[in-house]
Amino acid sequence: MKNIGIWMDKEKAFIINPNKNEKEMITIPSQIETYRIHGGSGTRVKGGPQDVVQDSKYLEREKHQFKAYFKEIASHVKDVDKLVVFGPAEAGEKFKKELGYYYKDLHDKLEGVFKTDSMTANQTKALVRDYFNL
């Protein structure tokens, strides 16, 4: 039986295989850009220059970057029996939603998505081992 735990946030994902006979952890960095929106009124003078902020452009780019990130993760865990996702942010919920739309077989093997704080690599490995009682 192959059990896999994933700790993920927006910057990276750790794929942890708690079985002793295989490589224990794989790190997958994301290519999701962090951006800060600049724009709005550059002056307080009425009728002064104003920049138009194209929020939708940044959000659409981020959506495509998340899709590529999730595709990379899914390719590493395609042959699992049980899958569990941990993480501090909303990335785990987005991943679950993506699995439901595009990776139905993996979604059926997903046992849950749990909120956790940022952890060291050893803490993450211990969390997955404890979850699967190994």
Tokens 């501090």 found at: 88
Counting every residue written for the chain, the total comes to 134
Question: Which domain CATH number covers 100?
Answer: 3.30.420.60
Q: Is 92 exposed, middle or buried (0-12, 13-18, 19+ CB in 10 A)?
A: buried
Q: What is the mean pLDDT of the chain?
A: 84
Can you give the pTM of this predicted structure?
0.80
Provide mean pLDDT across the span 102-116: 93
Q: Could you list the residue range(s) of the whole structural domain that residue 34 is in?
A: 3-131
% pLDDT > 70, the chain: 81
| Count of beta carbons in the 10 Å neighbourhood of residue 1 | 7
pLDDT in tens, 47-106: 655 566 677 888 888 899 999 999 999 999 988 999 999 988 888 999 999 999 999 999
Strand 25-29 with 12-16, pairing: antiparallel
Number of domains in the chain: 1
Per-residue model confidence (pLDDT) at position 113: 93
Where does the pLDDT of residue 38 fall: very low under 50, low under 70, confident under 90, or very high at 90 and above? Answer: low
